[in-house]
Structure 1
């Protein structure tokens, strides 16, 4: 496989992931962003913890979708994330979840 073939494959995978996101975002109530992943979820519990002078975040998600191009199953019933970086949790408003349908992103 050439470098160009690999780049084309990765581009196509990312485009498919965006299309999936566009199709499922309206099913969820929250967007959660951690240092490593982006999630959609219907239930979020964020706890700030301290141990040995270090602060970390424990996030529990239920009925989630994971933005990960290499993950074969992106729908997950329960997720527990522990991170030392900030966590961003936003509640989606129905008007916030309209994803533009641009011609270059339509299914071919």
Structure 2
């Protein structure tokens, strides 16, 4: 596979992922961003933990959708994330995920 073929494949996978996100975002109440992943969920628990003088975050989610183009199944029943970086949690509002009519993806 050439570098051009690989780039084309990754671009198509990202577009497919974006379209899936667009289709499912309305099912969820929260968007959660961690150091490594982006999640949609309706239920989560976030705890600040400390061990040996280090502070870390423990995040648990149920029935989540994960933004990861390399995962064959993006819906997950239970997720537990441990991270030393901040966790960003935002509550979605209906207007945030409504797409303009006819919008088929990036640029148009």
TM-score bin (small chain): over 0.9
Q: CA offsets per residue over residues 57-83 of structure 1, 9 Å max, x none?
A: 000001100000000000001100000
Q: Deviations over 1:32-74 (max 9, x none)?
A: 0000000000101110011111000000001100000000000
CA distance in structure 1 between the aligned counterparts of 2:53 and 2:98, rounded to whole angstroms = 42
* Root mean square deviation, CA, Å: 1.3
2:88 aligned partner = 88
CA distance in 1, matches of 2:25, 2:84: 27
Structure 1 segment 7-22 matched on structure 2, within 5 A: 7-22=7-22
TM-score (norm: length of structure 2): 0.92
- Per the alignment, residue 25 of structure 2 pairs with 25
Aligned positions of 1:63-102 closer than 5 A: 63-100=63-100, 101-102=102-103
Deviation at 1:96, TM superposition (A): 1.6
Deviation at 1:7, TM superposition (A): 0.4
Runs ≥4 in structure 1, deviation > 2 angstroms? 99-103
Normalising by structure 1, what TM-score? 0.92
**2:51 maps to 1:46:** no
Which blocks of at least 5 consecutive residues in structure 2 are unaligned? none
- Which residue of 2 is the match for residue 34 of structure 1? 34
**C-alpha distance in 2 between matches for 1:12 and 1:96:** 24
Q: Which runs of 5+ in 1 are unaligned?
A: none
